Structure 1
């Protein structure tokens, strides 16, 4: 029996150690065998090994149970304590540093289908950086997030029929919690009257969907601002409040995410990746990619994980 934190108390959780699937690392590449043919992997990890810088197309969630766990994502460091949660978005370079003794849950999800849902565009910017979830950083939803992850564990290790569907329904709810937490934040549009806030949220959600489908085109600030009925100055301020990005920075971020997917799933040359992701030139792509990922597109591709089903 293993102690698993559950809200403010400890529950006893039985781990089935006979499930199929494994996970191991080489210097640049992580190999993950998902359980059976699922695109979900939940791993109860007791290894003291450190995992070098790598990335993968799956979203990863780390949740220590006993002792700390250190994580470096790009240039940011996280010292995770039991009960704390770190969500690492797909495509982010990260390094894992374990203590001599400790236990933690590792969740791996292929969220490709979820990101294709129309409403997901409105929360895409939330995954521009890791989500560090503690009672202090997310006081309104921390317990809900922890309960959802606990339910996912229960479903995964039960190996019941339809467990994968149940887990993905819980994962959608997981994202919805973060979305509502953001739009209900008092500081989202601090100078906008309450009766206008809903209208603005709807406008920006629709705009994010538009950007998500037209990011390869020549989208300029003034035209986009006019399309939603704002001056470019008013639009710039509201867009920054809604996404924590300037419009230009978000467009660049969205194109880099597209490039990450192309680097992972195609044999296209770097030049072809740049063109298909919407960058105006290979030199611009290389410069911006290195600025955001701290490595070149070729170096990034060499650190990619591969995923294999048993």
Structure 2
């Protein structure tokens, strides 16, 4: 199934002139640790499937749906027999301001099961089957049909995630929407300026909050801390720069916004379980 693997980096085998690919996979074959730029959505149709995402094991049953975020290292283990949908859609060319916030909420992966999402699970399962049918029928506008269904899955997960973790009353709903708009602006600002010398105090002031109030709200709306979100953006960019074997690691660190090589090395290993040099050595040039 993995057609283009360089070290642990997979280049997705998109259908011609698209940024989507889908496998109806029935192979009794395991796949080594790898990562890629598109999402990966896995749904067993017959028998189960085992997936390891960032060292967390998921034992998928028939109908369970696992959504893996872009850039996350994962490993696949197949049973002796079975069938599953493996769907890889890229959203890299789609400019939607909420997307980075959604990915932050879902990162590294989210598992959709009947127990966790009793109302949404049958909807998501139906959407996945429709994605498969659209992909293989290949009728006019099938790519739009596929993307519309995948975006529906992402939107519903994001809304349900917020409703489950941060239920609000009608009286506070207007304020929550205002906060969400503000944090969409803030996350977009970070995405555009992460390589600069950003501080918590500076961004909190930009948002119009004290740093303590901002810290609490940032955690609520992104499910992570400000500095963890900022460093994740920097490290994601560093991984792309490290694909150039001629670029010194110190230059990668500085271009990503780190003030010192030691800080970059420490954060890279914390988030990727390897050093930048070890990451680079995983590739065959």
TM-score bracket for the superposition, by shorter chain length: 0.7 to 0.9
Of 70, 79, 93, the residue aligned with 1:113 is: 93
Quote how far apart the aligned CAs of 1:234 are. 1.3
Contact persistence 1:58–1:111 (CA under 8 A): yes
Residues 117-151 of structure 1: CA deviation (Å, up to 9, x unaligned): 22323323124211111122233432332222222
Partner of 1:65: 45
More strand by percentage: 1
Partner of 1:36: 16
Quote how far apart the aligned CAs of 1:31 are. 6.3
Contact persistence 2:69–2:103 (CA under 8 A): no
Partner of 2:110: 131
Q: Secondary structure of the residue that 1:112 maps to in structure 2?
A: coil
CA spacing shift, 1:171–1:207, aligned 2, 3 Å: same
TM-score, reference length from structure 2? 0.88
Residues 165-202 of structure 1: CA deviation (Å, up to 9, x unaligned): 32223223332222322343462679x93442222112
Q: Secondary structure of the residue that 2:93 maps to in structure 1?
A: helix
CA spacing shift, 1:269–1:44, aligned 2, 3 Å: farther
Quote how far apart the aligned CAs of 1:46 are. 1.0
Q: Secondary structure of the residue that 1:33 maps to in structure 2?
A: coil
Quote the RMSD (CA, aligned, Å): 2.7
> Which structure is richer in relative contact order (CA contacts within 8 A, separation 6 or more)?
1
Q: Pairwise mapping of residues 257-268 of structure 1 onto structure 2 (< 5 A)? A: 257-264=236-243, 268=247
User: How many aligned residue pairs are there?
Assistant: 283
- Higher mean displacement: 177-186 or 204-213: 177-186
TM-score, reference length from structure 1? 0.81
Partner of 2:26: 46
Q: Secondary structure of the residue that 1:113 maps to in structure 2?
A: coil
Structure 2: distance between partners of 1:162 and 1:147: 19
- 5+ residue gaps, structure 1, are 1-21
Partner of 2:231: 252
- 5+ residue gaps, structure 2, are none
